[in-house]
Amino acid sequence: MASKLVLNAPYPTKKREKLADVLYNSILKSIVEGELKEGDRLPGEEALSEQYRVSRPTIREALARLRAGGIIVSRQGSGSYVGRPQQAPALNFSEIASVADFQRCYEFRRGIEAGAAHHAARMRDGADLERIQNAYQRLQTVTVRGEIAVEEDFALHMAIAMAAKNPFFQSVLEAIRSQTLFSMSLSRNLSREQGPQRMASADKEHRMIIDAIARQDPESASAAMRAHINNSMIRILGSDK
């Protein structure tokens, strides 16, 4: 199959970013977004070196990481190809059946999603930010119509996880989808019954997270997400203790 070009990788915007990391993330993004599909052949080292304007050792480092993760495979004398997506073992989380389960779910989400928001602020690009803002606008539109907007709420959190450029965040959120939707539904129903101020608080918290990601402030994004999830738990349980 003919080689397909992958996305041009921008040079690092921060000193701590390595060229190999930028290249790795660019190729991974091309695969995740379907620009490169299973069986597609990557350009050779020389072509990638010219395209990305980096040294061949940098190319080899990025490709080695992709091979180690099973994302690409090498065929002797032929080159590197996009591998078959591996089916990870399903994560089995218990359904929420008690107040203690609610608390455990929120405690788990607080750690996971604060980390996702932190990395989203570091790694996001213009397309990620547009995806997050579009998800937020859909959430607002559906909420204004008087609907609970649980799916839209979850989609916003998933868009933030995607911006982190780490598929583990997305996988974990997807694994606890039913528990998260259930808790979001309860929180948003209670907030609607208890007056517009509760809904306005949740909206303000979302905007604080998005603003921190937009200005690429990882610490503020993480803190804002932790506060949002903690406050969501309080809106259900009345206390974080």
Domain count for the chain: 2
pLDDT reading at 16 higher than 50: no
**Are 138 and 197 members of one domain?**
yes
Rounded to whole angstroms, the Cα distance separating 159 from 149 reads 15
**Are 26 and 132 members of one domain?**
no
In a domain, 13, yes or no: no
| pLDDT at residue 211, rounded to an integer | 98
Q: What is the pLDDT of residues 111-169, one digit of tens each?
A: 999 999 999 999 999 999 999 999 999 999 988 888 888 889 999 999 999 999 998 89
Neighbours of 60 (CB within 10 A): 14
Q: What is the pTM of this model?
A: 0.63
In the chain, the N- to C-terminal Cα span, in Å, equals 59
Q: Which of 207, 224, 188 is nearest to 110 (CA)?
A: 224
- Amino acid at residue number 58: T
User: Tokens representing 71?
Assistant: 């994302």
Buried b (16+ CB within 10 A) or exposed e, 65-93: bbeeeebbeeeeeeebbbbeeeeeeeeeb
pLDDT reading at 103 higher than 80: yes
Radius of gyration of the chain (CA): 20
Q: Which of 83-87, 107-111, 132-136, 213-217 has the lowest mean pLDDT?
A: 83-87
pLDDT bracket for residue 13 (50, 70, 90)? very low
Residue 137 CB contacts under 8 Å (≥ 6 apart), including other chains: none
Looking up residue 65, the CATH number of its domain turns out to be: 1.10.10.10
pLDDT reading at 40 higher than 80: yes
In a domain, 87, yes or no: no
Strands 72-75 and 79-82: antiparallel
* Side-chain-facing half-sphere of 209: CA atoms under 13 Å: 30
Neighbours of 193 (CB within 10 A): 8
Neighbours of 144 (CB within 10 A): 9
Q: What is the pLDDT of residues 166-196, one digit of tens each?
A: 988 988 998 888 888 888 888 777 766 666 7
Rounded mean pLDDT, 82-105: 71
User: By the 8 A CB rule, do 227 and 130 touch?
Assistant: no
| pLDDT at residue 169, rounded to an integer | 92
**Are 41 and 129 members of one domain?**
no
Residue-number span of the structural domain to which 50 is assigned: 19-82
**Are 63 and 139 members of one domain?**
no
